[in-house]
Amino acid sequence: MPIANPVLANDLPERRLRCLGQIEQRLRWLATWTIHNANHLRESRDGLKVGGHQASCASMTTIITALNFHALQPQDRVAVKPHASPVFHAAQYLMGRQTRDQLERFRAFGGAQSYPSRTKDQDDVDFSTGSVGLGVAITAFESLTQDYLKAHGWLDPAREGRMVATLGDAELDEGNIYECLIEAYKHDIRNVWWIVDYNRQSLDATTADRMFDRFDDIFETAGWRVVTLKWGKAQERAFALPGGLHLRHWIESCSNAEYAALTYQGGAAWRERLLRDLGDRPHVRALLKGYDDAGLHELMIGLGGHCIETLVEAFDAAARDDTPTLFIAYTIKGFGLPLQGHKDNHAGLMTATQVETLRVAMGVPKGQEWEPYAGLSADEAKDLADFIAGTPLTSPAPRRFRAEPVPVPAHGAFPVPDGREQSTQAAFGRILLELAKSGAPLADRIVTTSPDVTVSTNLGGFVNQRGLFRRRDSADVFRDAKIPSPQRWLGGHAGQHVELGIAEHNLFLNLAALGLSAPLFGERLLPIGTVYDPFISRGLDSLNYACYQDARFMLVATPSGLTLGPEGGAHQSIYTPLIGIGQPGLTYFEPAYVDELAEVMRWAFGHMQADDGGSVYLRLTTRTLAQVERPDDLWRADAAKGAYWLKAPGPGSAAAIVFCGAVAPEVLQAAEQLADDIDGLGVLNVVSPGLLHRDWMAARRGRWTGAGRRTSHAEALLGALTPSAGLVTIIDGAPGALSWLGGVRGMRVSALGLDSFGQVGDLPDLYRRYRLDAEAIVDACADLFLD
């Protein structure tokens, strides 16, 4: 009986199948060649290995083919397995969105990036990837963002898409995937596909057999549909033949490592092994005889993830609804390359001879290696080009958007909480509450989110006003039962607070997703996330990830530092100021007074929307400080640049105290004590160590980068002191956040701050023990003059 033609059985038009097959070959070749060129043909000036991942690319060329040239629509958004970057760029090249020059400069300065980058690549990257796991999880949060926009009536229906991640199977070991899975379930996310390139190899080795089927359970428990694409059509046909079921059972019980090793060895090894294990089973010998060695090898590696029909069929079926779906596509790492299956192939590079053999085998004429349609006849090339031009993703529908700016209330119209004694944390809550009540357009675009610290970071007032965001209305049971509570939390479509569980990775990924709303959907959101300052470290890679792709948000970290007092050493943050200074894409502020905070927040809402802007980190405290009387408004302009003289130094002053944040009272007390001893002692209030440092760096750099030499703000401020002056710097955090100021004009520094773990205690005890009190400041000042 003739074998049923699966093409006809699936109604997959023959041309589509042929073209997709040709594309898969092009992608496999171009990715291999791009990496080969970077490593072996392009001139090397430093002797460093350039790298690239030929095996990881070949593992998913079929998946990318079926996605990009069949399943994806222009409104869909994709996070690509980081080390499949060359395949992604090759696909963009075939689609006319990537240049040959960029491919030739893969991993070279200004060329295509090693891992897809939203900000650095010139082609159409939706999400940057690189740190494995994060690109996967952001798709779930982007779908939540999409739901949020839709619920608020801001989503252009033409822009509603599916959020897709392609990932390596080793990425499934990353904890952030499961943190996200739990959150995604709670929020009932829709329209997400995760496609696992299930080659059962990681970087180091083949992966544990014990995980077979476990992922299905985990994802199904979390409400996902799991589609396992284990078999290619040719395999299914073989299984239907006499003896075929034995072959199938053998494959199913074969260990990952053995399958990989046989894949590397090829047809003769497969035959020998299968005959040894199955030779006495009925019909098996005859079945194997039907294939020559090359055919048997092709059959054995023709798993679901390398079968266009299998993939297309699965994607088409899943596209019928919006259920989040995990595709486990069985693949071969290094498929079709001499590296295939070898356990060490992750960073392996084909030799020049191997590439040459592949070129010949793939019918690519010498000299035409970069040609998109190399080796095809003119008619075939035209047909393929027409096919590609007709695929949905290649359509000219715009994929990058700009959002209308949301007006920020002018100074004077922006709320500044009043009160003699206030903490920056409480004031932050009051500013948001006032904004919420004001009905300003800005307030409508604010969306807050917090990993289970909404109340304790003072977001409660805003949430009372604006409600929780829920895809379905939820009642406030306590309120309905008339049980008194200051929190009135109704949930529904109009809500503006996205509640999260404790996992901090999710906070940053949610901020990243919300913060990409403008470029991805053309609608500006102003996300504000709150977290306890010490737990920034818990999600630090996700924070870096958010900044790396230029997502825009405000991170409010509070409480912070030793000033957390009775909470003790595990909660007292120490080096977060250094994160604030060091993190690109983020500007760190630590205001002492609430009028500064209001000014910083006003600036931040503009900065979050500016083309050359970024995200903002506010390090706040629960310590209540007596607010300062302002004789005038002059402080404002300097504060906006990062620091201002709270007490201007006298002419030729030989010393200044430079401080940041919550220790202001100790600083003022010490300044008073020192007033008689040091003429014209200045007190410099650093509102943003980050801004100040960045400006100093930029100013110094200017002379060499063509921007011209200019005086930095720090230089200008410290210019008020005599050149031989000394500085006492003090911050409730790592002293390096301020001590660098000594280098600006070559001044001596006596630095105060934390360089060991804190402990429980009240502030007088703790500040004395850790030398943050007035006495320590006085001593540090003396130290300047004693040396």
Q: Which residues of this protein are in contact with ligand TPP, per CB under 6 A?
A: 56, 59, 82-83, 131-132, 168-171, 197, 199, 201-203, 333, 346
Q: For residues 198 and 696, which CB has a smaller minimum distance to ligand TPP in the complex? A: 198
Minimum CB distance to ligand TPP, residue 204 (Å): 8
190-249: contacts with Mg ion (CB under 5 A): 199, 201
**Min dist. Cβ of residue 216 to ligand TPP (A):** 17
Name the token pair of 7: 């093409």
If the CB atoms of residues 130 and 168 are measured against Mg ion, the closer one turns out to be 168
Least Å distance between CB 101 and ligand TPP? 27
Tallying the residues shown for the chain, one arrives at 787
Q: Describe the strand order of the beta sheet including 446-451 as a list of residue ranges.
A: 491-492, 468-469, 497-500, 446-451, 526-531, 554-557, 615-619, 586-589
Nearer to ligand TPP, 142 or 169 (CB): 169
Interface pick for Mg ion out of 24, 124, 169, 444 (rule CB under 5 A): 169
Q: C-beta of 630: minimal distance to ligand TPP in Å?
A: 48
Stretch that binds Mg ion, among 168-176, 486-494, 627-635, 758-766 (CB under 5 A): 168-176
Q: Which does 203 bind (CB under 5 to 8 A by kind): Mg ion, ligand TPP, none?
A: ligand TPP
CB 621, min distance to Mg ion, A: 46
Pairing, β 421-422 against β 625-626: antiparallel
What is the DSSP-derived secondary structure letter of residue 373? T
Residues 649 and 667: their CA atoms lie apart, in Å, by 14
Q: Does 62 bind Mg ion (CB under 5 A)?
A: no
Query: Whole-number minimum distance, CB 333 to Mg ion, in Å?
Result: 6
Burial per residue of 251-287, b for 16 or more beta-carbon CB atoms within 10 angstroms, e otherwise: beebebbebbbbbbebbebbbebbeeebeebeebeeb
Q: Rule CB under 5 A: is residue 750 a binding residue for Mg ion? A: no
Q: How far is the CB of 415 from ligand TPP (least distance, A)?
A: 41
Beta-bridge partners for 526: 446
Nearer to ligand TPP, 349 or 747 (CB): 349
Peptide bond into 392 cis (omega under 30): no
Asked whether the beta carbons of 339 and 32 are under 8 A apart, the reply is no
Least spacing, CB of residue 229 vs ligand TPP, in Å: 15
Identify what 3 binds: Mg ion, ligand TPP, none; CB under 5 to 8 Å per kind: none
How far CA 322 is from CA of 29, 193, 222, 385, in Å, comes to 34, 9, 15, 31
Interaction partner, residue 171 (ligand TPP, Mg ion, none; CB < 5-8 Å by kind): ligand TPP
- Binders of Mg ion in range 508-567 (CB under 5 A): none
Pick between residue 203 and residue 698 the one whose CB is nearest to ligand TPP: 203
Backbone angles phi, psi at 60, to 5 degrees: -125, 20
Question: Is the CB of 345 or the CB of 729 nearer to ligand TPP?
Answer: 345
Is residue 305 at the binding interface for Mg ion, with CB under 5 A as the rule?
no
> What residue 310 binds from Mg ion, ligand TPP, none (CB within 5 to 8 A, per partner kind)?
none
- C-alpha distances in Å from residue 428, one per residue of 243, 298, 431, 622, 628: 72, 64, 5, 11, 17
Considering beta carbons, is residue 200 or 693 the nearer one to ligand TPP?
A: 200
At position 251, the amino acid (one-letter code) is: I
Nearest partner of 327 among 485, 441, 169, 440, judged by Cα: 169
Residue 533: CA atoms inside 13 Å, Cβ hemisphere, count? 32
Please compute, for residue 492, the number of CA atoms within 13 A of its CA located in the half-sphere on the CB side: 9
Query: C-beta of 216: minimal distance to Mg ion in Å?
Result: 17
Taking the least distance from each CB to Mg ion, the nearer of 199 and 458 is: 199
Contact 772, 731 (CB under 8 A): no
Closer of 198 and 553 to Mg ion (Cβ): 198
Residue 739 contact among Mg ion, ligand TPP, none, beta carbon within 5 to 8 Å by kind? none
User: What's the closest the beta carbon of residue 115 comes to ligand TPP, in angstroms?
Assistant: 8
726: left (phi over 0), alpha (psi -120 to 50) or beta: beta
Looking at beta carbons only, is 106 or 589 nearer to ligand TPP? 106
Look-up of token digits 């619920």: 151
Single-letter amino acid code for the residue at 400: R
- Output the 3-class SS for 50-96: CCCCHHHHHHCHHHHHHHHHHHCCCCCEEECCHHHHHHHHHHHHHCC
Considering the complex, state which of residue 216 and residue 380 has its C-beta at the smaller distance from Mg ion. 216
Output the smallest distance, CB 169 to Mg ion, in A: 4
C-beta of residue 558 within 8 angstroms of C-beta of residue 532: yes
Using Cβ positions, the residue closest to ligand TPP within the complex turns out to be: 168
State which residue, 173 or 380, has the beta carbon closest to ligand TPP.
Answer: 173
Other residues' Cβ atoms within 10 Å of the Cβ of residue 104: 17
| Range in contact with Mg ion (rule: CB under 5 A) among 163-171, 234-242, 379-387, 553-561 | 163-171
56, interface contact from Mg ion, ligand TPP, none, CB < 5-8 Å by kind:
ligand TPP
Q: Does 758 bind Mg ion (CB under 5 A)?
A: no
- What amino acid is encoded at 712 in this protein? S
Closest distance of CB 663 from ligand TPP, Å: 37
Of Mg ion, ligand TPP, none, which one does residue 114 interact with (CB within 5 to 8 Å by kind)?
none
Judged by the rule CB under 5 A, the positions of this chain that interact with Mg ion are 168-169, 199, 201
